[in-house]
Amino acid sequence: MTNEGSGGPDGGPAEHGGAASGGGGHVRVERDGRIGRVTLDRPDKLNAFSGDMRDRVGDALEELGGDEDIRVVVVTGAGRAFCAGADVGYMTGLIEDGRIDEARALVEAGRRVAVTIAEMPKPVVAAINGPAAGGGANLALACDLRIASDRASIGQTFNRIGLGPDWGGTYFVPRLVGPARAAELFFLAEMVDAERAERLGLVNRVVPHERFREEVDALARELAAKPPLPIRLAKEAIRRSLGSSLEDMLDFEVEMQEACFRSTDALEGVRAFVEKRPPRFGRGNAREEDDG
C-alpha cells in the first residue's frame, strides 16, 4: 500500500511484446500466442490499486479465462513493483468521508479476483517483479504459481493503516505457511524478502532479476505446452482437496482419469511416448469412437 509517486520501468515482463487486446484504467491485457498477460500498469504509484483498477483486473482475468486459445495467464506489474496494495491517499478519502459502502465495494472487487483465479480452468502465474504488499501480496497468493525476482518482497502490511487482510489472504496464507507463521506475518505486517518468502512457501521459485523475464516466459511456455484437460482437472483437485476426505478425492480421481482416458490428448500422449517423439497436445476434447 502506498501514496508514493515513484517508480519506473525495469525491463520486467510487463515490457514484453505481443498482441495487446485491451488497456486503460491502469490494467493492460496482452496475448502472446497461447500466453495471456495481465499487467498492472500504474508504475508511478507502484501499481497501487485506485479507482476501478480492481474491477479491471477481474474483467481482464475473466476475458483471458474464457479465451480457448489461451493456455496460461501471467499476472505482473509494470515498473519496479508488482503491486503496493491500496492507494492510501485514495483510501483516506473514503474513510474520512465515511464512505463505507464504497470501501466495502473495493473488498468485494478483490474477492471477485480471487474467485475468478480459483475457478479459471487454466493455470495463473504471478510474476512478482518487485514489492507486493497488502492486496498486491494476496493477488499474488491467489495465483496458482508464483515466480519472484530476487529483488521482490511480499508483505501482509494491512494493519499498518489499521486494516485487516483481504483478497483471500486469510485463506491462502495459513494454508501456505501454517497458522503460527500466518499469525507472525499478519501481526507484524513486515515485508519479507524473496529468499525468505521462498523458504516459507509463499513463492515457488526465486530467480535473478537479470533473468526474470526470460524465466517467466520459459515457465509460461512450458505450461502452455501442457495438455489443458489434466491441468484443469488437477487445479480443480487441489481446490477440492482442501475440504475433502481421502475417499472423496479417490472418487474424484476416478472421474478425472476417465475424462482424460476419453480425451484426444491422452491418445496423443501415449502414442507420442511409444513413438519416442514430443507430444502435440490440443484442447483435450473427447475423441470419436473410431479413434480408439
Name 54's Cβ contacts closer than 8 Å, sequence gap at least 6.
106, 109, 110, 112, 113, 135
Cα 156 to Cα 151: distance, rounded to the nearest angstrom: 17
Among 4, 62, 69, CA closest to 38: 62
Cα 110 to Cα 27: distance, rounded to the nearest angstrom: 14
Helices (H), the chain: 53-65, 88-96, 100-119, 135-142, 169-177, 179-188, 194-200, 212-224, 228-241, 246-261, 264-274
Could you read off the pLDDT of 89-117 as tens digits, one per residue?
888 888 888 888 888 899 999 999 999 99
Cα 64 to Cα 60: distance, rounded to the nearest angstrom: 6
User: What is the DSSP code string of 51-66?
Assistant: TTHHHHHHHHHHHHHT
**Residues 14 and 76 sit within 8 Å (Cβ to Cβ):** yes
The DSSP symbol for 27 reads E
Pick the more confident residue, 18 or 225.
Answer: 225
Could you read off the pLDDT of 3-33 as tens digits, one per residue?
433 333 233 333 333 444 454 579 999 999 9
Tell me the domains of the chain and their CATH numbers.
13-224 (3.90.226.10), 228-291 (1.10.12.10)
The pLDDT, as a whole number, for residue 16 is 34
pTM given for the model: 0.86
Give the sign of the dihedral formed by CA 35, CA 123, CA 127, CA 207. negative
Give the sign of the dihedral formed by CA 71, CA 173, CA 213, CA 41. positive
Cα 86 to Cα 130: distance, rounded to the nearest angstrom: 16
The DSSP symbol for 206 reads E
Could you read off the pLDDT of 30-84 as tens digits, one per residue?
999 999 999 999 999 999 998 899 999 999 999 999 999 999 999 999 999 999 9
